[in-house]
Amino acid sequence: MLWSLIKILVFVAIIAALSLGAGFLMETSGGVQITVAGTELSFSPLQSVVAALVLVGVVWVLLKLLSLLVATLRFLNGDDTALSRYFDRGRERRGYQALADGLMALASGEGRLAMSKANKAEKYLNKPELTNLLTAQAAEMSGDTRKAAETYKKLITTEATRFVGVRGIMKQKLAEGDTETARKLAEKAHAIKPRHEEVQDILLRLQAQAQDWSGARNTLSAKLKSGSLPRDVYKRRDAVLALSEARGVVDENASTEAREQAIEANRLSPDLVPAAAMAARAYIAKGKPRLAARVLKKAWEVQPHPDLAAAFAAIEPAETPGERAKRFAFLTKIHPHHVETRLVQAELKIAAEDFPEARRVLAPLITEKADARALTLMAAIERGEGATDAVVQGWLARALNAPRGPQWVCDNCHAIHAEWAPVCTNCNSFDTLSWKTPETAEIASATGLHMLPLIVGPTQDKPTIAVPQEIPDAELIDAEPENSDVSGLDSADKAVGDDPDTGPTVEVK
């Protein structure tokens, strides 16, 4: 509205200026005299201005006629398109102007105006390789997906615009959620332009989602060759893909090739915990326990992890608890104060029924970083030392609402996963899972607090120890067991079981 008002005001101002100028010329005395071959012509000031404008018009017409004469002579000399070019020159000028206006409208977010300018440019230029792209993008912006799809299909028929058409349809399929068709189109687009970074990223993500690990590794190599991926990142992601190929190595019928892929994944990225654990199991299957222990030690030096401890235990599955505790010193001496190291030591001591030592190892975690695993292990210790059911159940009640500790968390969307995976199941991002404590506080069970009295049970006999939240540190470390009779447990294995998510669980009888 404001722009229309400005244009009206400018038009009125121009008319007023012309009127004032004409009045001034009419009131001005004098004029212009022209003598030609004895004939004298006199013009008033206003007539002089009009004559000048007529002269300019005549000159312009003469130049146009001269251009037409030149084009006619060229046509007569054998240039078959000389006359058509002369008459099409104005159409091209208007067409390119419409094309420029359409691009400006597209950049401004005016989809309908861009579509109108695209149609006008197509009418004047008759160059679909230029106007079809503008038409497709304008149709997408205005919400006409059918028109956009039709235009992209037209682009595919031309060699010069084939890539643009395939890429456009691919992005439409992605928006529709048809990832299978989008993956096939991404492969075609990648074959046309192997160095296109956006297509490489989309193809890699879709191949990882479809578990096409071999194809994803080829795409990753193409990214390295094109220079769009640093070599260190390439090694890490190639290890993730190799590990994904070898996920069946833990099966009894795992092929030798799968085991080799697991070992290759660990070689590419020794700090990748799942690769180290899987490579160790591959070495165990091949009868090479020393190589398995070496792989696990190297990964443990980077980051202690329960999966590494489980793989290390699998090296000698038939050993006694005492032998296992002695052998685990190979790992636990590396990071003696790490949380995972203390948890592993506590489990080993419980299995060996050395409950006072297990309590001493866990004491710093209970006072500083008490999570569900540590509190559950404390319940096992209390059970092993003969504590009452109320005390054991009190520790379990605390574990019910305690943080779960480090987990596999997506760096992109912060979703928590029960186990490692190459692709986040929430946001479908590739290689974004890290073993860490979630940034946001975990939400406890909605029924946890309501179930607390049911878990703890009646405590009329000893009401002060129902939930031992105020136990002094000295008692945690130095307290003697109230009852040394542990006949209720055949072994520590009955008290503590392995859980892949929260660690050990306690069986209360």
Q: How far is CA 419 from the centre of its chain?
A: 19
pLDDT for res 33 = 66
pLDDT for res 189 = 93
> Which contiguous run of DSSP H or E holds residue 165?
helix 162-176
Tell me the C-alpha distance between 425 and 428, whole Å. Answer: 6
Q: How far is CA 43 from the centre of its chain?
A: 79
Give the Å distances, CA to CA, from 321 to 236, 286, 350.
36, 25, 9
Question: pTM to 2 decimals?
Answer: 0.61
Q: What is the dihedral of CA 51, 57, 62, 66, to 10 degrees?
A: 160
Q: One digit per residue, pLDDT tens: the chain, 509 residues?
A: 677 778 788 878 888 877 777 676 566 666 666 676 667 667 666 667 677 778 788 888 888 778 777 777 777 777 766 666 666 667 778 888 888 888 888 888 888 888 888 888 888 877 777 788 888 888 888 888 888 899 899 889 888 889 989 999 999 999 998 999 999 999 999 999 999 999 999 999 999 888 888 899 899 999 999 888 898 888 888 888 888 877 644 454 555 666 677 788 878 888 788 888 888 888 888 889 999 999 999 999 988 999 999 999 999 988 898 899 899 999 889 999 999 999 999 999 999 999 999 999 988 888 877 888 889 999 999 999 998 989 998 899 888 888 888 889 998 888 998 888 888 988 888 888 888 888 755 544 444 433 334 334 443 343 333 334 433 333 333 333 333 333 333 333 333 344 434 443 434 33
pLDDT for res 26 = 62
pLDDT for res 206 = 93
pLDDT for res 45 = 67
pLDDT for res 187 = 94
Average pLDDT score over the chain: 78
410: β partners:
433
Contacts of 410 (CB under 8 A, 6+ apart): 416, 417, 424, 426, 427, 429, 432, 433
Tell me the C-alpha distance between 433 and 412, whole Å. Answer: 8
Tell me the C-alpha distance between 388 and 464, whole Å. Answer: 13
| Helix/strand/coil for 497 | strand
pLDDT for res 438 = 85
Q: What is the per-residue pLDDT across 200-216, written as a single tens digit (0 to 9) for each?
A: 999 999 998 888 888 99
Tell me the C-alpha distance between 387 and 182, whole Å. Answer: 62
Query: Can you give 371-421 as a three-state secondary structure string?
Result: CHHHHHHHHHHHHHCCCCHHHHHHHHHHHHCCCCCCEEEECCCCCEECCCC
pLDDT for res 133 = 83
